[in-house]
Structure 1
Amino acid sequence: MKKIAVPTKENLVDDHFGHCDAYTVFSINQQNQIEGAVIVPSPAGCGCKSNIASTLQQLGVTTMLAGNMGDGALNKLKSHGIDVLRGCSGNVRVVVENFISGKTVDSGIGCSHNHEGGEHSCNHGS
């Protein structure tokens, strides 16, 4: 079973990874369907300085679908075996459904502190 985490605030992708309310961890079955989801409360402190990477790793998370994040958080997650795709926004379930359908690509853009949200669910490849 594959596990995907999404920084969450009010059922939407939180645009600032390190300050989100919680992480929604989706379980994906062999048929590439969402089988379930659990909410993991965000630890105190900035994402890159907290224990969230090791917590998510212990839960079996291998992918993070995020809005924006700085290089420190990106490197911390990668060092714990978690691939990160940035540039996601919108409803967390729709974001995960787009990812498992192969419609998601990493924006390649780190945190710029200019967070303007959109209605799209993630950057899509051409």
Structure 2
Amino acid sequence: MSAHSDLARELFRKGYNCSQSVFAAFCDETGLDMETALKIASSFGGGMGRLREVCGAVTGMFMVVGMKYGYTDPSSKNAKAEHYELVQDLAKQFENENGSIICRELLGISIKHDKPIPETRNDNYYKKRPCAELVEQAARILDEYILNKEWRRPAMIKIAVASENGMVTEHFGHCEGFIIFYTENNKIVKSETIANPGHKPGFLPNFLADRGVNVIISGGMGGGAVDIFNERNIEVIVGARGDAKAVVEAYLQGSLKSTGSVCHEHEHHDECGE
């Protein structure tokens, strides 16, 4: 067993519900504190509040990958589809091992919408319920996915920041230039500045993609530019502010999240890279 699956089982044996046990076991990956994680997952035990629907161990998996890999841009169909594909793949792995992802089917009971009062946790409870093993399996499936994803990441990650005077600029298309940060093992190893070659529809995203950029960070960006970056498999972070290097370091530490905000106002289309 992995450290996460060990911890998930231990949390379940302490009395936490199945969803809490999986979600809280991965606080080191999600960046949440234990109390917050336990509160978020508290509604999903017993197949969502003892409704005996989707197993809490499964919803715990979904919340972990949502925190780590979830999308924030509502206009990006590609990002949504990729994330939903991940959710379905994880569910299928769990189902292949256990025959179902539905709580009542896993427990072999026919009742739906069970009474809200949970059963007393004792030795007999743990003997007749497979839940401790299920949270272990869910944590193991998650660990295998995370390990495989991290292993497949490129050794060198190039992060471009739309900037002006070393600061993240508000408008992607009209930025002074792009600072390209070369990173390895979540550390900046070098950087270079490329002047903005000029904006015209669809040009800048392909210009950066052709230079091997993996991530683009900007204050604002038009939806057309976001779509092209998504098509070129480049991660888009918008809504960033402040010193360009500090913003990249925050991204590498996992604390920088995209606001998902896209410029839609007609007067800003050219300024934001459309």
Classify the TM-score, shorter chain: 0.7 to 0.9
Aligned CA RMSD, in angstroms, stands at 1.7
- Corresponding residue for 2:197? 43
- Alignment coverage as a number of residue pairs: 111
Q: Is the 8 A contact 1:43 1:51 kept in 2?
A: no
- How big is each residue's C-alpha offset from its partner over 1:67-115, in whole Å with a ceiling of 9 and x where there is no partner? 11110111122222211011101000000000000001110111266xx
- Ranges in structure 2 where 5+ consecutive residues have no aligned partner: 1-155, 266-274
Task: Determine if contact 1:44/1:50 at 8 Å carries over to the other structure.
Answer: no
1:95 is matched with 247
Q: Which amino acid aligns with 2:252?
A: I
2:105 corresponds to: none
- Call closer, same or farther: CA 1:112–1:51 in 2, change over 3 Å: closer
- How far apart in 2 are the matches of 1:108 and 1:53? 17
Structure 1 unaligned segments of length 5 or more: list them. 114-126
Aligned with 2:241: secondary structure? coil
- Name which structure has the greater RCO, CA cutoff 8 Å, separation 6+: 1
2:204 equivalent to 1:52: yes
Write the distance in 2 (CA, Å) between the matches of 1:112 and 1:89: 19
Give 1:35 deviation, angstroms: 0.5
Rounded Cα–Cα distance in structure 1 between residues aligned with 2:164 and 2:261: 21
- Dislocated runs of 4+, deviation >6 Å: none
Normalized per residue, which structure has more strand?
Answer: 1
CA distance in 2, matches of 1:27, 1:83: 15
CA distance in structure 2 between the partners assigned to 1:105 and 1:111 by the alignment: 17
**Which piece of structure 1 moves more, 104-113 or 94-103?**
104-113
> What corresponds to 1:68 in structure 2?
220
The higher radius of gyration belongs to 2
Structure-1 separation of matches of 2:241 and 2:205: 21
1:10 aligns with 2:165: yes
Q: Secondary structure at the match of 1:35?
A: strand
CA shift for structure 1 position 52: 2.0
